[in-house]
Amino acid sequence: MYRLSTTLLIAVSSFLLSALSHADADLAKKLSNPISDLISVPFQGNWDNRVGPTKGGRRFTMNVQPVIPVGINEDWNLISRTILPVMNQENIFPGSGDQTGLGDTVQSVFFSPKEATAGGVTWGVGPVFLLPTGTEPLLGTEKWGAGPTGVVLKQTGPWTVGSLVNHIWSFAGKDSRADVNSTFVQPFLAYNTPNSWTFTLQTESTYDWEKEQWNVPVHFLVAKVFKVGKQTYQVQAGPRYYAESPDTGAQDWGFRLNWVMLFPK
């Protein structure tokens, strides 16, 4: 009887652990999809050195990025993606000193079908807005902006491949500040393992049409989904390399550490 009870306990424990691992793997795969039906709140820390024309500055940016999907009917989701930067920087050019505060907010809204196409493609389109929430002139553009945004991706087995793009034009704000006319392109390739690890290669490239300059950081990121009590999290970390950057931007290497709170339905 004792052996039977022990065997039964081990079998039940193994089943539960396998089920939990499978659930975590599903969440990890959903996180590879920017417009999945999963509420998440990432706190994304980015460290950059050698910032500015003399390459003597440094910058830390904490992007608070809540993603909130809302079902608007049986066929369509509306997904809100917000990026609010909390920044600290110093010596980004000679005599600039240091600044701490909020940067400009980028608010995207995607309309996306709840089901993928017959070919397994997931897509979403909508507007993107630039809100001048910068608390200091050197932390923001002091411009209001808007434009289109879209994302398309396909998930096959453990792989996710896709791209997110947007374009923002400024339409109001301080006349003394430069206009905003920029394209953002984020191609991504992710591999999810059965034990909820994710390996991602992506760029977050921006082209400034006013200055005719690219900013191209390339990221390699490793992530893991796990639970603490009843709360589910993902931690993600990895280096980035600036393949191209403007004179006023960051150079060479940086680092990202991302802490994500998950709220599965």
Residue 106 sits in a domain whose CATH number is 2.40.160.40
Domain encompassing residue 13: 2-263
Give the torsion sign (CA, 237, 241, 244, 245): positive
Q: According to the model, what pLDDT value does residue 204 have? A: 96
Q: According to the model, what pLDDT value does residue 207 have? A: 97
Q: According to the model, what pLDDT value does residue 24 have? A: 83
Domain count, the chain: 1
Q: What are phi and psi of 12, to 5 degrees?
A: -65, -45
Q: According to the model, what pLDDT value does residue 259 have? A: 97
Q: According to the model, what pLDDT value does residue 18 have? A: 41
Residues 33, 155 contacting (CB under 8 angstroms): yes
Q: According to the model, what pLDDT value does residue 19 have? A: 38
Per DSSP, the three-state class of 247 is coil
Q: Of 109, 42, 114, whose CA–CA distance to 79 is shortest? A: 109
User: Strand pairing partners for 161?
Assistant: 154, 189
> What is the residue-level pLDDT of the chain in tens, covering all 265 positions?
545 444 444 443 343 334 344 568 888 999 999 998 899 999 999 999 999 898 889 999 999 999 999 999 999 999 999 999 999 999 998 888 999 999 999 999 999 999 999 889 999 999 999 999 999 999 999 999 999 999 999 999 999 999 999 999 999 999 999 999 999 999 999 999 999 999 999 999 999 999 999 999 999 999 999 999 999 999 999 999 999 999 889 999 999 999 999 998 7
User: Strand pairing partners for 83?
Assistant: 106
Q: According to the model, what pLDDT value does residue 178 have? A: 94
Q: According to the model, what pLDDT value does residue 16 have? A: 32
Q: According to the model, what pLDDT value does residue 256 have? A: 98
